[in-house]
Amino acid sequence: MQHQEILFKQAGQSFRFDPPDGRPASEPGPTVRVFEGDREIAATSGACAVDPVDTRLDGDVSGGGKMIRVVSADGIVRGGRYLMTKPDGDREWIEVVAIDGCALTLRHPVIHRYAGNATIVGCRISIAVDATWAASARNLSDIAARQRGLAGYVLRWTYVIDGFELAGISFADLVSCRAEQIVTPHDVDKRCPGWIAGLPPEHRQNQGADFIAEAFRAVRVEAIGSAHAQRKVRDAQVLRELVNIRAQVIRIEHDVMHGEPRSADLARAEQRYEAAYARLVDKRPTDDPASPAAKRSEPGTPRRIPKLTNQ
């Protein structure tokens, strides 16, 4: 799921989409339509553009390496995602976390061995956000009239790769406060003392911000299928509490998947999250016909508990 937050009243922003299939053709160029529910709206300005990065490796790279050199780093940005391809067709996505001249540090080790003739290209599609739309308070995603679905807006992208027309979906919200401002690494560290100090080496530079970002995604996805749950997780206080706890679950899941004997810790963290979710999201007013209180006359009625992503 690709979800993006557009900041209220901030100029110079773009909607973006990362095609999973590769680099789109420039002719015909990509297009996008923005929807609020079933209604198409005018929220963009100008035409779609494709990331112009197009360079080659400078030297060989062995599988497992996290440092590569390129012929030119023009246009490559920290946090950018690029497609690296061998002449024989093997390819993989790389994410750049640091740039030093023409030397790039990657978030994850490369899988294949590459010779210096491998290509590295940008694939991201982007289009400018209309400044007038972004400056209108009635377009904010958290107003009562728009509290439905996974996000306030759905973007439908169309693009061509190798002669075939493809389509993609992304989601966006117009917000007055971005997610990384709602929950910070220091917030999680207060709730889970030692969070920052105990992070794996590869996550220390951003103090576990990627775990927090995944927690936001997981909480939103777990609300799919329930209009009540989607309304609840749009409440900033509810979202903040759940993400603080969920980030710790994801952090421990990471340790377990990398072989650390923390299964008992993971079970306790999951139980804590499930209890918080039941208290903050599943609880309904007693006059709500769908509330657990209204169903007490039905013995054995199960409570809705989110299915954690590692299960």
Give residue-wise pLDDT tens across range 240-299: 999 999 999 999 998 888 888 889 999 999 999 999 999 998 876 544 544 444 443 344
The answer to whether residues 170 and 153 touch, using CB atoms and an 8 Å cutoff, is: no
pTM over 0.85? The answer is no
The answer to whether residues 124 and 17 touch, using CB atoms and an 8 Å cutoff, is: yes
Report pLDDT digits (tens) over 123-145. Answer: 999 999 999 999 999 999 877 66
Cβ neighbours around 123 below 10 Å, total? 21
In this prediction, residue 149 carries a pLDDT of 61
Average pLDDT over residues 89-96: 90
pLDDT of 166 over the 80 cut: yes
Choose among 91, 125, 116: nearest CA to 2. 125
In the chain, pLDDT over 90 holds for what percent of residues?
52
